[in-house]
């Protein structure tokens, strides 16, 4: 269950009414593009794709020997799986992410892994990302060196169904390869094999995850009053003059979720719009309660240039009591209370303190940090982003601004010979 709370933003219901037409128009124009594959709206249909899920499960069952799972991918090819696996790993399979190009940690990882128990998953929508191909090359050499002909069983690819260098390589070598549908972009791909394959190895409840995402689809299409993503899109739209959007999550298990959201929000919406203006707000990741001891001072008394979203779980899956300690009477207010009570009290207190400090803040309550609720939340945020793309007059599904950096990197490498 996902619930929006706007208690500190009076006048929101009136604003919703005042923007009714604009919001419904934004939704209509988004949905009108749905049939056209080039519009990259395939993420809307991923929660319904039970066929791919079955194939992933078969593959997982055929490979019970995996103890270490190395995901080589970056950006949208790593952030989603990382966020969900960290929260819902039930299997004990150890996950390692090669979403960087720093040599020392790569060498350290290679020293610790047993190739016979390691599955490498190279993930890239384009199949041509430099960081990913560099990592793949190193792991390929390592697998071949240790396993000889058996290396193929230890490498699985997730990429475009037809195009790109990684697809061509998988075909040439006869590797197992899962498709990322053409009409699904990287930062919207967490519910494709990009996320589902690693999560199957993590033993996460994929049915519940997809069921939650289907619920988000339902609310996206619901009448305005019940359309959670239209409502949160409006909150961001109303505050678009504030340059910073803090996304603060009160869950250690979801500690990687803010980074996933940052890419989704910033890369989708930070653009030159159809009128030639630069638009977008800067998403800042934050984690409660850790950031109460790092960023909240600024949030509370620094510039009033932010819209803050707090994601707060309402119930724990399991709780833990804080036992009494003799001689530590200073902490007696904690004794007999539970960790979840403490977490909840801190979240609620911060919510109130930020509002009283004059910041614009709302909460998204998650019934529980469960695959169902988090699947709902992530798909909800994708809808929110897509609606904002319509409201701000940008294509939320491209990223022209990252191309120049890639070209310059290649030019530098070529110069160095
Ligand atoms: O999945 P890939 O094609 O390897 O792309 C990985 C990432 O790199 C690109 O530079 C894009 O800016 C990101 O949107 C993308 O998620």
The answer on 183 and 170 residing in a single domain is yes
pLDDT tens for each residue of 78-134: 999 999 999 999 999 999 999 999 999 999 999 999 999 999 999 999 999 999 999
The answer on 297 and 182 residing in a single domain is no
Cis peptide before 289 (omega within 30 of 0): yes
Domain hosting residue 230, numbered range: 2-32+208-400
The residue whose C-alpha atom lies closest to atom 8 belonging to ligand 1 is: 75
Measured from the Cα of 406, ligand 1's closest atom is: 10
Place of tokens 């919001």: 23
Give catalytic status of residue 293 as yes or no: yes
Q: What are phi and psi of 242, to 5 degrees?
A: -90, 120
**C-alpha 165 – ligand 1 centre gap (Å):** 14
Measured from the Cα of 76, ligand 1's closest atom is: 16
The answer on 215 and 182 residing in a single domain is no
Structure tokens at 66: 């995996």
The residue whose C-alpha atom lies closest to atom 2 belonging to ligand 1 is: 124
> Where would I find the H helices in 222-319?
228-238, 257-269, 296-301
The answer on 191 and 116 residing in a single domain is yes
**Domain end (from 189, 204, 219):** 204
For helices 257-269 and 371-392, angle between their N-to-C axes, nearest 10 degrees: 20
**C-alpha 67 – ligand 1 centre gap (Å):** 27
The answer on 118 and 82 residing in a single domain is yes
The residue whose C-alpha atom lies closest to atom 7 belonging to ligand 1 is: 75
pLDDT tens for each residue of 122-152: 999 999 999 999 999 999 999 999 999 999 9
pLDDT tens for each residue of 186-209: 999 999 999 999 999 999 999 999
Percentage, residues of the chain above pLDDT 90? 95
Q: Is the pLDDT of residue 374 over 90?
A: yes
Active-site hit among 293, 318, 326, 416: 293
ipTM for this prediction: 0.96
pLDDT tens for each residue of 231-255: 999 999 999 999 999 999 999 999 9
Residue 274 contacts residue 203 (beta carbons within 8 Å): no
pLDDT tens for each residue of 307-334: 999 999 999 999 999 999 999 999 999 9
Q: Is the pLDDT of residue 72 over 80?
A: yes
Give catalytic status of residue 171 as yes or no: no
- Sorting pLDDT into bands at 50, 70 and 90, what band is 410? confident
pLDDT of residue 404: 84
The answer on 354 and 270 residing in a single domain is yes
Q: What are phi and psi of 288, to 5 degrees?
A: -95, 150
The answer on 116 and 44 residing in a single domain is yes
Output the pTM of the full model. Answer: 0.97
Asked whether residue 408 is domain-assigned, the answer is no
Give catalytic status of residue 82 as yes or no: no
pLDDT of residue 401: 87
The count of domains in the chain is 2
């Amino acid at each position: 269950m996902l619930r929006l709370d706007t208690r500190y933003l009076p006048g929101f219901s009136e604003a919703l009414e005042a923007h009714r037409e604009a919001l419904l128009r934004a939704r209509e124009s988004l949905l009108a593009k749905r049939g056209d594959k080039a519009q990259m709206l395939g993420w809307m249909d991923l929660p319904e794709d039970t066929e791919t899920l079955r194939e992933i499960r078969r593959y997982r069952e055929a490979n019970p020997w995996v103890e270490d799972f190395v995901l080589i991918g970056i950006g949208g090819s790593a952030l989603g799986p990382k966020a969900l696996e960290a929260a819902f790993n039930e299997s004990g399979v150890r996950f390692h992410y090669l979403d960087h190009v720093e040599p020392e940690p790569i060498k350290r990882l290679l020293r610790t892994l047993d190739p016979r128990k390691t599955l490498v998953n190279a993930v890239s929508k384009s199949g041509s990302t430099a960081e990913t191909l560099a990592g793949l090359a190193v792991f390929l050499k390592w697998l071949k060196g240790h396993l000889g002909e058996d290396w193929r069983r230890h490498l699985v690819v997730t990429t475009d169904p037809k195009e790109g260098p990684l697809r061509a390589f998988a075909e040439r070598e006869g590797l197992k390869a899962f498709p990322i549908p053409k009409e699904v972009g990287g930062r919207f791909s967490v519910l494709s094999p990009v996320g589902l394959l690693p999560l199957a190895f993590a033993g996460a409840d994929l049915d519940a995850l997809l069921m939650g995402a289907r619920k988000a689809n339902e609310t996206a299409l619901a009448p305005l009053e019940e359309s959670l993503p239209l409502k949160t899109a409006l909150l961001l739209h109303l505050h678009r003059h504030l340059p910073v959007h803090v996304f603060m999550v009160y869950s250690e298990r979801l500690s990687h979720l803010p980074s996933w959201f940052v890419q989704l929000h910033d890369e989708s919406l930070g653009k030159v719009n159809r009128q030639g203006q630069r638009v977008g707000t800067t998403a800042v990741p934050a984690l409660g309660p850790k950031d109460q001891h790092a960023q909240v001072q600024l949030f509370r008394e620094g510039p009033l240039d932010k819209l803050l979203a707090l994601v707060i779980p309402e119930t724990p899956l399991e709780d833990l009591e804080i036992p009494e300690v003799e001689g530590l009477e200073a902490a007696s207010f904690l004794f007999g209370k539970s960790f979840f009570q403490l977490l909840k009290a801190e979240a609620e207190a911060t919510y109130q303190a930020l509002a009283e400090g004059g910041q614009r803040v709302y909460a998204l309550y998650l019934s529980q940090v469960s695959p169902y609720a988090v699947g709902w939340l992530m798909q909800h945020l994708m809808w929110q982003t897509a609606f904002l793309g319509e409201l701000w007059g940008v294509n939320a599904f491209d990223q022209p601004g990252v191309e120049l950096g890639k070209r310059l990197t290649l030019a530098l490498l070529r110069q160095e010979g």
